[in-house]
Amino acid sequence: MTEPNPTTEPPAYTIDELAALTRVPSRTIRFYQSRGALMAPEIRGRVAYYGPAHIERLKLIAQLQDRGLRVDAIRDFVKTIERGELDLAEWLGIERQMQAPWAHDQPRTVTEAELYELAGSQRAGLIADLCRVGIVERRGDVYLVASPALLSVAMRLEGVGIDLDTAGGASAILRKHLGRAVNDLVDYFVSRAKDGHVDASNPEKLFEAFRISGIESVRLLFGREMEQALRKLLASGKITTLSVRAKKRKKG
């Protein structure tokens, strides 16, 4: 490392010194530069020198990558910070809020005994069926339950005669259509914000409103649609036919 005057010049590092100091490979540093996420070094003669600002930027890049941002997104992000259009602390506060789950339903790793207790049933073949439909994943001597709430729903449905394969298929249908609806809604709100119809000056409050009203709206709208669909099914007479057939199968 060079020996600048400490009273007038900040420390200066070659790329190899910067790599050793930050534990970021020199190849990666060059990649960040090529994508515009890391500012260019100062050239002195034929040697490129980096300073404290580069160290801080590399720390920020690592922090943002840990939060799932890609290099191009990081480049655009830091540019908005440099232009004074975005405050890093504010963004990190929003990001922390978004990390909080909307549904209070966290994955759990359980033993076989705990899985039976969680499911509320010990019928033969239950665990194999749960693993087959993807509700549970076996990991060595334990089991990963990605969504205990969905497991509970599936077991309630099984209790009234809807097998796990059917419950799993229903879940896949919901994920498919809700995923599309959510993407459409996000695009819609973004377009309305661009036109000035949505106040996006305080994203943290906006996301909190989405969190509260979004879940409640889905519950209400889905409930109404399901009620109407079931009324039509009942009026069509199909449910009576299905019930008669099911009773005959049981007798047979």
| pLDDT one-digit tens code per residue, 97-138 | 555 555 667 889 999 999 999 999 999 999 999 999 999 999
Give residue 233's pLDDT. 84
Sheet holding 136-139, edge to edge: 108-110, 142-145, 136-139
Give residue 219's pLDDT. 84
Instruction: For 153-204, write each residue's pLDDT tens digit.
Output: 999 999 999 999 999 899 889 889 988 988 898 898 889 988 989 888 777 7
Cα torsion angle, 243, 245, 246, 251, sign: positive
Instruction: For 72-103, write each residue's pLDDT tens digit.
Output: 989 988 888 777 766 666 666 666 655 555 56
Q: Is the pLDDT of residue 7 over 60?
A: no
Question: What span, in angstroms and rounded, lies between the C-alpha atoms of 97 and 105?
Answer: 16
Give residue 43's pLDDT. 93
Q: In sequence order, what are the beta bridge partners of 138?
A: 143
Q: Note the pTM of the prediction, 2 decimals.
A: 0.57
Give residue 252's pLDDT. 67
Among 82-96, 135-149, 216-230, 236-250, the minimum mean pLDDT is found in 82-96
User: Letter for the amino acid at 15?
Assistant: I
- Is residue 37 a contact partner of residue 78, using CB atoms and an 8 Å limit? yes
Mean pLDDT of the chain: 86
Cα separations in angstroms, 9 against 1, 5, 18, 52, 213: 13, 6, 17, 11, 54
Question: What span, in angstroms and rounded, lies between the C-alpha atoms of 170 and 25?
Answer: 48
Cα separations in angstroms, 39 against 61, 65, 86, 113, 190: 12, 17, 18, 55, 30
Give residue 32's pLDDT. 95
